[in-house]
Structure 1
Amino acid sequence: MAVPNINCKTCSNQNCLIKKNIDRNSIEQFMPDRSTIVCKKGQQFVMEGAPTNGLFFMNKGKSKVLKTGIYGKEQILRFVSNGEIIGHRGFGVREKYSISAVALEDSVLCNFTDKTLKKMLKEIPELTYDLMLFYAYELNIIESKVKAIAQMTVREKVIDALLYINRKFGVNYKGLLDLKLSRKEIAGFAGTTDEQVTRTISALKKEGLVFTIGKRIGIVNIDRLRMEISEHNYFLDS
């Protein structure tokens, strides 16, 4: 996969914080400092415990952000799609990344170093404000999820994970979730085990709420699944 020639002004990622502020004349001076990184599916591009190297912006592709728990168990914190940021929790406050990130498909990322970003934030107040709003939103999402997950049953956790993936990535032409994940990865995100995920999906299939083709999953009745977790008053939007 060749390294593409990315132009921030013509980039299609309208949600990217850099793209949103690209019309500011002062941001042009920082464009030569951006690095482009190409990752193959399964490639790790952020390693937990490694020295921080700025923020990564997903130009094209999908990835998972995770932490390693006890006995080496993988806990997936979130999934990342086009325009989103990776590595922000370590920016400015840590010398090492507290998370890992792995490409779920062939992906292209943009990277700005800590030094460049700090200078950008000092000189472009609009970018600083947008990043502050992003952090506030992320904190709200995390707090809401921790509260809800602590009260959910295994079935509700799996349903919540499937609805999250559906909202974030949509479906392909076959009606299957447009993110291919193993049962282990779903379990790592839902906070349960592979076996419990398999049993729950089998039960949902028997009830006509989901269907599968190979290892991929499609949702038949989104409203019914939403109703099952509605008492938690919680829907993760991103």
Structure 2
Amino acid sequence: MNTKVDCISCTNSNCIIKQNAMGEEAAPFLEKKLSLKAKKGQPFILEGAPVHGLYFVQQGKVKVGKTGINGKEQIVRLCHDGEIIGHRGFGVGQFYHISAVAIEDVVLCNFSTDTIMEMLKKVPSLCYAMMLFYADELNRSENKVKKIAQMTVREKVIDAILYINRKFGQTKNLLNIQLSRKEIADFAGTTDEQVIRVISSLKKEKILIAEGKKIGIINLEKLKREIAEHNFFLDS
């Protein structure tokens, strides 16, 4: 569903467009932006679909996935306000290599490939910021590959929970996002059963608590120490 979100009046200070493309040279391109809403559980990028530009999360939470071995989904990123989605297919291919689904009701901004390409040519500050963004993304990807190869199942689940905490934070000792055990497993690169076992163990050790499907961290420092040797803080 279309809804208009004006970049000039937008208060989303985390958005790379808001930070770097508010000058006169960017104004004609901002007018071409589309604003969209997606309901909880609704996909707005399908893996293998033709690329139709970049998405920016104006408000809400999104999971970005990729099909792995035997058709199993792997959640590769969790996104919130201001983050970019669809950038890995931008400029290098005709099809998206990921899928994107709203975890909760979300407002999205979409710039077509042509519009973004022209804006990058005309707005140097945005071009430089995007270059740094891609360099940071590459660094995170390389670190994640190394960590996954070296971690035990317990460490993978702990790493995923710490990532979720850094990304979304907690309110009243519960994480500010509700993910199923399967979604945590798809992000950690393990199985539902293993996630359930690890969470149960961490609850018995009084490191985690759970209320329904939501979990919370009550001993953050102890959880960090479990995977300190893997430099968990590199992937924020």
If the length of structure 1 is used for normalisation, what is the TM-score? 0.96
| CA–CA distance in structure 2, aligned partners of residues 51 and 236 of structure 1 | 32
After superposition, the C-alpha distances for 1:89-110 in whole angstroms (9 at most, x for unaligned) are 0000010000000000000000
C-alpha distance in 2, partners of 1:90/1:176? 35
Count of residue pairs brought into register by the alignment: 236
Q: 1:191 is matched with which residue?
A: 189
CA distance in 1, matches of 2:71, 2:107: 28
SS at match of 1:33: coil
For 1:45 and 1:140, the matched residues in 2 are separated by: 27
Give percent identity, aligned residues only: 60
Q: Distance in 2 between matches of 1:67 and 1:149?
A: 16
1:127-165, CA deviations, whole angstroms, 9 ceiling, x for partnerless residues? 110000000001001101110111001110000000000
Is the CA contact 1:52–1:90 (under 8 Å) kept in the aligned structure 2?
Answer: yes
Long gaps (5+) in structure 2: none
Question: How do 1:59-74 residues align onto structure 2 when only pairs under 5 Å count?
Answer: 59-74=58-73
Does structure 2 retain, via aligned residues, the 8 Å contact 1:21–1:27? no
Distance of 1:119 and 1:212 partners within structure 2: 48
Deviation per residue, 1:109-135 (Å, 9 max, x gap): 000000101110111111110000000
Confirm or deny: 8 A CA contact 1:9 1:22 kept in the other structure. no
Residue equivalent to 2:231: 233
CA contact (8 A) 2:53 2:86 kept: yes
**CA RMSD between the two structures:** 1.1
Q: Check conservation: 1:35, 1:110, Cα contact below 8 A.
A: yes
- Other-structure match for 2:206: 208
The 5-angstrom pairing of residues 85-234 of structure 1 reads 85-172=84-171, 174-234=172-232
Structure 1 portions without partners, runs of 5+: none
Contact preservation (8 Å) 1:176, 1:216 = yes
Structure 2 counterpart of 1:154, which letter?
A: V
CA deviation string 1:54-78 (max 9, x = no partner): 0000000000000011222110001
Deviation per residue, 1:41-65 (Å, 9 max, x gap): 0000000000000000000000000
Question: Would the aligned equivalents of 1:168 and 1:237 in 2 still touch at CA under 8 Å?
Answer: no
* Secondary structure class of the residue paired with 2:232: coil
Instruction: Indicate how the Cα distance of structure 1 residues 67 and 91 shifts in structure 2: closer, same or farther if over 3 A, else same.
Output: same
Using the TM superposition, give the Cα deviation of residue 24 of structure 1 relative to its aligned residue in structure 2, in angstroms. 1.6
Amino acid at match of 2:232: Y
What SS does the corresponding residue of 2:210 show, helix, strand or coil? strand
Aligned residue for 1:235, secondary structure, equals helix
Q: Which residue number in structure 2 is paired with residue 8 of structure 1?
A: 7
What CA distance in whole angstroms lies between the structure 2 residues aligned with 1:80 and 1:202?
26
The answer as to whether partners of 2:2 and 2:34 remain within 8 angstroms in 1 is: no
Structure 2 Cα separation of the partners of residues 11 and 142 of structure 1: 30
Contact 1:61 1:82 in 2 (8 A): yes
